Structure 1
């Protein structure tokens, strides 16, 4: 290996080395590629030959079937000779299995060469094998074709290899040889002292960048002297701009020096202050002389390399300037200080700002101490940096403990030791050092407690609020807000009065829930009674459908009542946990949803049943003639009208076609008519009712139902559409008829309804509905929101 490396180094030119690498590499690569290529090519030629012979065998087996069956010898021989025209075939044999004959080509000794391959096919006539054709073929043709292709490819590769080497040498000469020669000439000229002449070559390749770096280096050599001349001037400008001064103290000679900017900082002329250590010490503030001199002596004793100090020095006008002194020590191998060098800067404005900030902090602390709300600020390291006296009072912690900036984990330990909030082991307050480094080195744990709800990731991500009860019965509301830089701010508020009011509201809400459940049962009973009065013939079939949702709602109400009693018992014993309250809230929500869902379902069934009883149609929309349909509705009420002395007239133009919901319209007209029969006419009177229809603008129809009865009192007129409002309670009125009319008109029919009445002069109901209904809502009444229980403590998540 050593001899090879030495021989390689002796090669005189880059081109020779390039050829020694390129030529063998190309030869090896081309050889491997050619071997793989021609191996695959030979396989392809063999496969093509085999397919060709197989095709010949298949075709001629079919061609010989009829000839061999008729035993036409001459035709058989002609076919065999025609097959033999293929030069790939060496021998052809056709056997006659029926006659036991054999036809062979080119002679009886076929096949003569054992190296041939065979393709054999049966000769069949109507699925009967009468003979076999056997083709013997040689692969010499494929080999000859492969040899010819190899010769042609070798010639082409040799020409390509020669052209590649020539092109590579030319490219090497143009891209490497020429610029490298110029670079060598420039370097040799510089070594001979002929000057720094740059190389005349520009290119984006590696050599171009090397030559560019060489030219840049030559340019920098010429610029260094000018830069050195300007360095002192720039340093002076920088010192002036930063209001600083440079000083130097040689401990061996005792020589003290400072730049001309130092006297200017204190308002002196450049030559007014002698450059001695005594001058410097005489300018120090009397209160700080001893401290500053002691610190200066310490610099000589310890082995630190850098120092910093801030002290006051007297200005020429008698005022005091704050000076920041930064120094660096130069030491011998034994660690003894030999020289001190540093800067002095005027930082009066900065120090004054810090003093003002400290004053503002004091004012802020006084303000915080006089607020009625406790405030604590914890930094990103888990240490309490701000707290007021109210916070100490509400946490039952001595104020001096908070004033000492303790770690938050220490406050938690003090509260546990004092027994505060001991009945609430999962109180989030015991875990609010999440994301903070505790003294134990683990972030996110205080005494090994679990993470608070909603903060399982171990980091305070968003504000949250919760309440805690102290041993003395006081209730404290705690709100925590995270800070962007880490840590959090906590406020503590005494909400004992508000919390007790919330408890009273909670009890009242529970009573309201029971009353609401009773109201629901009463409402269901009245609605059921109203429907049963008009659905006597179908009540048996609908009873099961109505009973199911009501039974589910009643079961949910019973379950909710039981859970409420258990929660109230736990609350009274003081054993209620947050998980109990959360489970109760979940149960109450699900029970309320089921109660609302099933009562809504019951209302839908009752409403549907009422419509079916009046009009034996479904809720599907269809086209109908309005006049004919109104006459049908009036006719269906004939038995009821014949029992009374009252009469109904229909005034409607023919040809008004509706694309709407006839069942809903039938229910509206029926309820208006039954309402008039019940309320409008006194006993022993003869009344008249009129249904008057007019076409209105914007594709609507106006239906007016009028009677000449006693009318509606003015104070009752605004309430006629309210559910369960009736002036004949106990005398046949349920208060649901006109409420159902309002819902059907505004929801199913997509229209609007109004009422106009003068006492003693009858009543008129006016409906405006579109001829073509659009996306009606379900006609059942929408229940109002259920009351939500109020909890003493909210989920901190």
Structure 2
């Protein structure tokens, strides 16, 4: 029975249960009624068949009486054949008692043990002349009954299906549809989509149930809304305080906590089982035993509130500090019925407290290891912080100062030891240090303001000869900080420092003078190159002009001799005229070239030996500079190309620019092209939109190693110390560009990939830069070295 009941409860739908009741009931009822009906029908058919056979026997007994009396065999046989036409008969037997004859259909003999027989005597005038026996079978009855049963069963099945369908439809309309809506509403609520009323109205029992259910949903919705609002407030409060709620029932051992507790430790809401074992497993091993013992004690003592701070393991393996506050609900005997509390993450607070304690310890260690004595006094004149040097300078025991005494007690102790005897009759100094009367110290001795409310600095000499500087700084919240510094050494060495500063100033002046001399020497070296260029460049046109004049003089003398000798011919005169014209042309052309070269060299020489500012055409001036370097360049297979747009006029110092270009070219010839390799140098000028010029001097030489790149502008730095390098060329270039020309310079190079110096100078330098260029064309080596590194890095 239990299994049947369990199986019945597992049927999933009401319709299935309804069918499980309806179909067997209908089948059983129809089976019973059908069995009774067909049993009676069977009996009726049997009786009908027996009556029919009996009637056939009666009729044919009369029909055979005449034939049997006259012994008409053919007639008898015909009658037997006619009787055999009835399919219910299985054998027909006719006996002739008078002639002792026998007629049998269909065979020779009929079965003797057949129970289904009808026998009639054949009489003629009450004389029995024979017997007719009919053997029959109920097979036809059974076949008919079977056919009727089949037809009936088919009809019953159709009726059963229709009945079930009608019943299911009725069940669906009256019970199933409202039940489905009711179930859908319940599932909707269980799935968390809110409460949805059932859309059904009826006056029957199910309608009243649904009506009551909808009313319950409305009340439940109102209660849940109020509960949800309360839970939201509680959740917000718990989340804001990084807390969680827990509850423990000591009688059952059941443990519960809110979803915020796993989140505090980085777990999901369902990752931690709500058991005491889980809580214990999360405790720090060093504290677990004490915390568990404390938790057990809570259940035994009579206290109502508890508080503890301990560590618990996060999911990531780190340790979180948890503050646990609990309240116990106890019965009249004091037994704990329930313990409820909150767990809050106070890691930041605990860490801040630990950091604060560590910082205080570090601060105290720092104060104790500093050479300066420090004390802090609050608004009540109590010492709240000090170090050991303060006790030493105040000449009081460190233990006394560490006990946080009031400041007047310190002054009294010092006076008792004669600390203020050296002050003599100077009441102001004594009052500033502390005063004999604290009221005088607080009131400023009647001077109109407390000495503790304003900064104060003074020096005093201790009995041992040391000089102590005392500084007092008031605090905004009241009180003050006082420092004690031993300035004996500083006072004694002040004069030494002053003398050292004077010596340093003299050395600096000497250094600037030396640097100016070096710059002048470099300029003179450039001028020597210019003189050599003048001699070389002018020699060619002057030589050609001299040769032409000599040739013209000799031809003139020859023509004059011919004229005087009377041998001059017209052809001689024509040849002389042609020679004179060509010679005059060559003399004029080369002398003009020499004049231009002299004028160009003159301008460059004047610019190099003066610091005059003027406006000049940049392209023409660069060509003059390169021309002046021609003799040096032609000593090797080197070429200098100029890429500058014509018409670029700048207002600057041409001498400084000439010195910069000359030094860059000479630096490239010295360092970029070793062993006489062929080199190309390019001076590329870009006229920028912001009023500046960008001049790039590039060569295709060996480049500068990375370790030397940031040192190229430093004074006296050279890699050719024994091969003519002074280490001042680029240093002078940097000074002239950054100061005289008012711009900046940088270098970009890689080993084997050439070197590029980029200058950015204004087309018209400001007045301040112009004055700096005239008065101080160079700076100190140390300053330039630092600036060069910054410029190169930029």
| TM-score by shorter chain over 0.5 | no
- Greater RCO, CA 8 A, separation 6+: 1
TM-score (norm 2): 0.32
Which structure is higher in helix share? 2
